[in-house]
Structure 1
Amino acid sequence: MSGLFGPIRQNGYVVRDLRRAVRHWTEVIGVGPFFVIDDQPLNGFRFRGEPSEARIRVALAQSGGIQIELIEPLNDAQSAFGEFLRSGREGLQHIAFWTDEFDAAMREAAGRGLTVLQEGCSGSGAPDERFVYFTAEHHPGTMIELSETRGAKGRLFRAIAAAAEGWDGAEPVRDMRSLLDGAS
């Protein structure tokens, strides 16, 4: 298996207009359906070691073995997402690896010299929903995210992948809460 922590499971794109980006992905590229959450909780979020009240809008879809994540920052609070846009960029910002063994993966990352840039818990903030983004100093432009996928977040990701199988173009944009209720 290739990759630091197994296969790359997600491409994360930071965008200025999430609705426009979703239309592009569904209508031009044919990827979908996208599940949108208009204000994604970032629990215990820290950027460069300091607490941050960053708020983001997120859309998730699946294309084969890769999840597509679209992220739109909603405020000016410090985050890698806002920093990316303020630098004049838009587009692919990170790749993500998923793990059920987060602590072991973090030890491996530290052993390889990766440095945490931002971290927190997504979704409900449960202890098995941790994520971390490493600085991109080793390869400017594309960060590495490590996302813990035990519990509800893993079930949510599997439901998004299942929805993409055989998708016929109907309902290209859906409310993520419809899946979150079943992922709890």
Structure 2
Amino acid sequence: MHYGFGQPHDGIMQTGFIVPDLKAAIDHWVRDLKVGPWFVFDHFTGIDPIYRGGPSKADSTIAMSFAGHMNIELIQPLDDNPSVYKEFAESRGYGFHHYGLSTTRFDEEIEGYKAKGYELAFLAGVPTGGRVAYMENGVNQPGMVELIEYTDSTDEAFTAMYSAALTWDGSDPVRPFG
């Protein structure tokens, strides 16, 4: 079974990158890679965010677009509060951060990754009604695994962004999320 944006259920649907300057990163993806339009969510903190076992106050701005069926996410940390984004940029630098896997079995997948030796680094609700969980397995991994809980609203939001990318003519490259 596939989502409305073409990726299979329980498969990789997203690649995420930490960037120092969201506007410059979007400009690069639009100009050099012809990816757009970008949907920007200013000041994303998550709903009831938990970072490494405690409440999180971290603030970031994210932007999403599609390259083919793959969702691309750009994330700019906005403050000095601890977060999975800030810690990654400080320890590894800017660039690739995570693979996003959508799942219909969110809680089971978290436990499955824990059984494989992964640690739950971040958990939060998202505006589409689902949740996300960042799982990490040490410095030998190229990036984290983000589990993205599937909901009908998630599919609708990602399908709308995918559809916009399919018909994008290069105009209006930055748009509000939602």
2: distance between equivalents of 1:101 and 1:88? 30
Corresponding residue number in structure 2 for 1:159: 160
Give the alignment of 1:18-167 within 5 angstroms.
Answer: 18-87=22-91, 89-123=93-127, 126=129, 129-137=130-138, 139-167=140-168
2: distance between equivalents of 1:84 and 1:107? 23
Name the amino acid aligned to 1:148.
E
Is 113-122 or 131-140 further displaced after alignment? Answer: 131-140
Q: Which deviations, in whole Å up to 9, do the C-alpha atoms of 1:84-126 show, x marking residues without a partner? A: 22225001111110112212322322332322111111226x4
1: distance between equivalents of 2:59 and 2:140? 26
Could you tell me the TM-score, scaled by structure 2's length? 0.88
Unaligned runs of 5+ in 2: 1-8
Name the amino acid aligned to 2:88.
F
Could you tell me the TM-score, scaled by structure 1's length? 0.85
Are 2:46 and 2:124, in contact at CA under 8 Å, matched by a contact in 1?
Answer: yes
Name the amino acid aligned to 1:103.
D
Are 2:136 and 2:143, in contact at CA under 8 Å, matched by a contact in 1?
Answer: no
Over the matched positions of the two proteins, sequence identity in percent amounts to: 32
- Provide the secondary structure at the position in 2 that maps to 1:170: coil
Are 2:45 and 2:57, in contact at CA under 8 Å, matched by a contact in 1?
Answer: no
